[in-house]
């Protein structure tokens, strides 16, 4: 049989065509090929889970089933690439934290100091046990601003990342914040209240009243140092998915904010092996 013809030539050509098909770009999206996987991913996106949370949860939920696993980058690609429209409902980009159909690099935001507070206790005096998170029940907090002067307060437990969101219907001055914040802290069981770390904002001018009422020492961060309460900063970024910067946050009732907090507390977190904060037991 001729070297360049006949059956051997056919086999070589078929192999070349198969290799060519494998190398074509863009490849068919995994979500387009696996309807069951797509359904689960769309369900979790609709609950405002991030692609990374979905990917980690799937590995934990289906450890031996590769057909029910997908990387977070593959989810982003299906959402962001117009050529893959049939892979997933691209309207779900609205449920991402940014709400944007195209990924963009995060801008660096510079923080500013917000006044001097009398008799404040610096974070440098905070117990060393708070730093490594081995001892739970230490909290971080801050305000999340909407259209001024509207705001809400956030509280995050450092070990579990359990979150509470506090309505501030009266305003953001210390005498307006303190009653609502104190009431919410008193709703946390006493053994769960050890310390509170807060940004150095004027809303904490009555920190001594908070400490006297709740038994929680309040430690204030250094100026322009949001990383000193990084757990709370990360949580506040998650909340922007629900509470836009230009929204009047006074229209959200405490019930509304409790529902938002419940969603966050039931989302899987990478830091917990994709368990949710509500699943993390505080045993110390």
The CATH number assigned to the domain holding 134 equals: 3.30.420.10
Of the candidates 105, 115, 106, 107, the one whose C-alpha atom is nearest the C-alpha of residue 224 is 115
Domain that holds residue 247: 123-279
Residues 194 and 274 in one domain: yes
Cβ atoms of 31 and 40 closer than 8 Å? no
In a domain? residue 72: yes
Cβ of 284: how many Cβ atoms within 10 Å?
10
Q: 38 and 144 share a domain?
A: no
Contact 141, 197 (CB under 8 A): yes
Tokens of 63: 């450890």
Answer yes or no: is 105 within a domain: no
Examine residue 103 and state whether it is found in any structural domain, yes or no.
Answer: no
Say whether both 168 and 63 belong to one domain.
no
Q: What is the pLDDT along the chain (284 residues), one digit of tens a residue?
A: 455 555 555 455 666 666 656 555 556 788 888 999 989 999 999 888 989 999 999 999 999 999 999 999 988 888 877 665 567 877 877 777 665 555 555 554 444 444 468 888 889 899 888 888 888 899 999 999 999 889 999 999 999 999 999 999 999 999 999 999 999 999 999 999 999 999 888 999 999 999 999 999 999 988 778 788 889 999 999 999 999 989 999 999 999 999 999 999 999 999 999 999 999 866 55
What is the number of structural domains in the chain?
Answer: 2
In a domain, 272, yes or no: yes
In this structure, how many other beta carbons lie within 10 angstroms of the beta carbon of residue 107?
Answer: 5
| Start-to-end Cα distance in the chain | 79
In a domain, 56, yes or no: yes
Structure tokens at 121: 């206790």
Q: pTM of whole model > 0.75?
A: no
Residues 248 and 168 in one domain: yes
Q: Are 76 and 127 contained in the same domain?
A: no
Same domain, 129 and 242: yes
Give the number of other Cβ atoms within 10 Å of residue 198's Cβ.
26
Q: Confirm whether 76 is domain-assigned.
A: yes
Q: Which two tokens stand for residue 85?
A: 């429209």
**Are residues 131 and 68 part of one domain?**
no
Same-domain status, 33 and 169: no
> Is the bond leading into 177 cis (omega within 30 degrees of zero)?
no
């Amino acid at each position: 049989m001729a070297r360049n013809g006949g059956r051997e030539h056919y086999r070589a050509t078929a192999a070349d065509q198969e290799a060519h098909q494998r190398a074509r770009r863009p490849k068919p999206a995994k979500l387009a090929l696996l309807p069951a996987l797509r359904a689960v991913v769309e369900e979790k996106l609709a609950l405002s889970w991030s692609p990374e949370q979905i990917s980690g949860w799937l590995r934990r939920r289906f450890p031996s089933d590769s057909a029910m696993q997908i990387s977070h980058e593959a989810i982003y690609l299906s959402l962001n690439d117009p050529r893959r429209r049939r892979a997933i409902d691209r309207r779900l980009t609205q449920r991402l934290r940014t709400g944007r159909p195209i990924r963009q690099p995060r801008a660096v935001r510079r923080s500013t100091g917000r006044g001097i507070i009398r008799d404040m206790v610096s974070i440098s005096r905070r117990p060393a046990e708070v730093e490594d998170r081995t001892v739970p029940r230490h909290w971080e907090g801050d305000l999340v601003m909407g259209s001024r002067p509207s705001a809400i307060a956030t509280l995050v437990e450092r070990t579990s990342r359990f979150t509470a969101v506090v309505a501030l219907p009266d305003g953001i001055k210390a005498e307006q914040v303190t009653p609502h914040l104190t009431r919410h802290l008193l709703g946390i069981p006493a053994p769960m209240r050890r310390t509170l770390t807060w940004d150095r904002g004027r809303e904490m001018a009555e920190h001594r009243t908070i400490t006297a009422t709740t038994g929680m020492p309040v430690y204030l961060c250094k100026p322009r140092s949001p990383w000193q309460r990084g757990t709370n900063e990360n949580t506040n970024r998650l909340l922007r998915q629900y509470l836009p910067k230009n929204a009047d946050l006074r229209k959200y009732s405490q019930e509304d904010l409790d529902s938002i907090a419940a969603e966050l507390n039931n989302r899987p977190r990478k830091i917990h092996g994709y368990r949710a904060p509500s699943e993390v037991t505080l045993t110390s």
